[in-house]
Chain A
């Protein structure tokens, strides 16, 4: 169990009568992509909220690198290396791409209470920030405000910001959404390399992408994990086919 980076133990969360998350346990190990799939309304967003700290659980705990982080705030979890990308691009609109990345870098260093030294003269922050933008292929767009980037560029910037957080693991919420065929293919290649740096918990609707990327897949239906296994196992699982893949094909 030494290689477990992120672990959920018996997470539960209800909203009124609705059990949005019902006794969910799962692990994320070094070097893997663990995909979380399920039909709309299966409780994926709630689960992401529970992991990132936006939502407090009724029961259960979250562990990051052997540490119980259940009681920590969103910001505290982020500083421990829980790097999250958002389903709908959520950047700082009036900041350039570079400054969005630099913000994550400065937060990761834990030094936001510096009042006088201009960030513009912080060579290290600038250089590391540019390197990261270069890695995702956004170097040429470094000085463009996030609000003026294209949809695809914003998705890449989301990844760049996550990279800047000294991540222990990535929490990627539908990174392929709206990317198109070519963009998706490029991102898949990139993520295949990324998982060596830190494992990825991936929520994604694009089944082709999931089957190409994932090492393991967990299927969430009505807040419960109904199956968990390798790509082949999940493809073959009749329960999953009935509950999920069948539904997907009718959409």
Chain B
């Protein structure tokens, strides 16, 4: 009970700080900091997506960059065609975020459905490797397909639009990303507490028992995998709009690794784990990146220490062991 209260307190602080820092930056006219906070929020959305598969379902996907990239390319391609006034697959391009998000989620969800249906036939290290293989397929396809920039990537000349907001202003874009993150966290919390979450977490802990009481693991896991891919795809579309650029690097295997790292740094399966993890990662990059060009060495050491000695991540360190019961 005490630990649960601590965790909620910590969650509230994280949510507050993530809003207060860019608010201060907005008032102090520091757009760079707002953009950093937006980056944290979007990375956190992507990691909340992965957390559904990895944290709740125990599916170690080493290929979630695929969905991030797919979402990014949906945004980039839609904007590209809207800018040129050319149709894509018989439809007009669009520069509206809302329809782009819907398509990004549909596309990444559909791909996650195929990848999941095939990958879930395997388990353990084979699952890790086959999800990596599918992401590599996407990466190399994006790299060598010339129509949308190939390895040069695809710029988004005009940031896509959101009703009632001026997305070219950093603060507006941050508010959008923060809002989506809060909705994503709410959905994650509801999912975890609902019957679906109960079934999914039970399968992670003891698939034989879950089947013996009448829950078919495959369907539940596949559904979770698809939801997970959709949310990460949404984050990809937003990330493309933040950087106004899409490239195969979004699908690189190091990106998949980074998403897992975010979850581990924050705390696996924790509601706000992705938020804490994304903040740590981006903060680390900015802070140590300013001090030394070899900041990745220090990131590696910290990550190693967390894996070897602090399994619960930041939230686990402060709020103790996770409880699902």
Contact = CB atoms under 8 A, between A and B. Distances in A.
B92 to A, nearest CB: 33
B270 to A, nearest CB: 14
A119 B212 contact: no
B194 A119 contact: yes
B214 A114 contact: no
Given A103-B198, A114-B194, A116-B194, A74 B212 contact: yes
Contacts of A145: 323, 325
Given A95-B202, A106-B199, A119-B195, A78 B213 contact: yes
A115 B191 contact: yes
B194 A165 contact: no
Interface stretch (B31-39, B103-111, B139-147, B203-211): B203-211
Given A117-B195, A118-B194, A75 B324 contact: no
Contacts of B208: 54, 74, 86, 90
Contacts of A161: 213
A52 interface: yes
Interface string A64-75: 000000000111
Contact of A143 (B194, B202, B223, B325): B325
A96 interface: yes
A73 B193 contact: no
Most central of B190, B202, B205 by chain A CB within 10 Å: B202
Contacts of A74: 208, 211-212
B214 A115 contact: no
Contacts of A15: none
B216 interface: yes
Contacts of B217: 75
B220 interface: yes
B295 interface: no
B325 A95 contact: yes
B199 A103 contact: yes
Contact of A78 (B191, B193, B212, B323): B212
B223 A113 contact: yes
A129 B209 CA distance: 17
B325 A86 contact: no
Contacts of B195: 106, 111-114, 117, 119, 122
Interface string B90-122: 000000000000000000000000000000000
B324 A73 contact: no
Interface size class, chain B = 20 to 34
Interface in A116-132: 116-120, 122
Interface string B212-235: 111111001001000000000000
B196 interface: yes
Given A94-B205, A96-B325, A84 B212 contact: yes
Nearest to A116: B190
Interface size class, chain A = 35 or more
Nearest to B227: A115
A75 B223 contact: no
Interface of B is mostly: helix
A91 B205 CA distance: 9
A99 B325 contact: yes
Contact of B214 (A78, A90, A120): A78
B216 A75 contact: yes
Contacts of A119: 193-195, 197-198
B291 to A, nearest CB: 41
Contacts of A117: 190, 194-195
A238 interface: no
B205 A78 contact: no
Interface string A152-186: 00000000010011000000000000000000000
Contact of A107 (B194, B205, B215, B324): B215
B307 to A, nearest CB: 21
Contact of A75 (B191, B193, B196, B215): B215
A142 to B, nearest CB: 10
A115 B230 CA distance: 15
Contact of B190 (A110, A112, A113, A118): A118
A151 B215 CA distance: 25
Nearest to A78: B214
A10 interface: no
B215 A112 contact: yes
A207 to B, nearest CB: 27
B220 A107 contact: no
Most central of B195, B209, B223, B322 by chain A CB within 10 Å: B195
B216 A118 contact: no
23 contacts: A73-B211, A75-B215, A86-B212, A90-B212, A91-B206, A92-B209, A92-B210, A93-B206, A94-B323, A94-B324, A99-B198, A104-B213, A112-B198, A112-B199, A113-B195, A114-B196, A115-B196, A117-B190, A117-B194, A119-B195, A143-B325, A145-B323, A164-B213
Given A103-B199, A165-B214, 10 more contacts: A75-B216, A75-B217, A86-B208, A94-B201, A94-B325, A104-B213, A108-B214, A116-B190, A117-B190, A117-B194
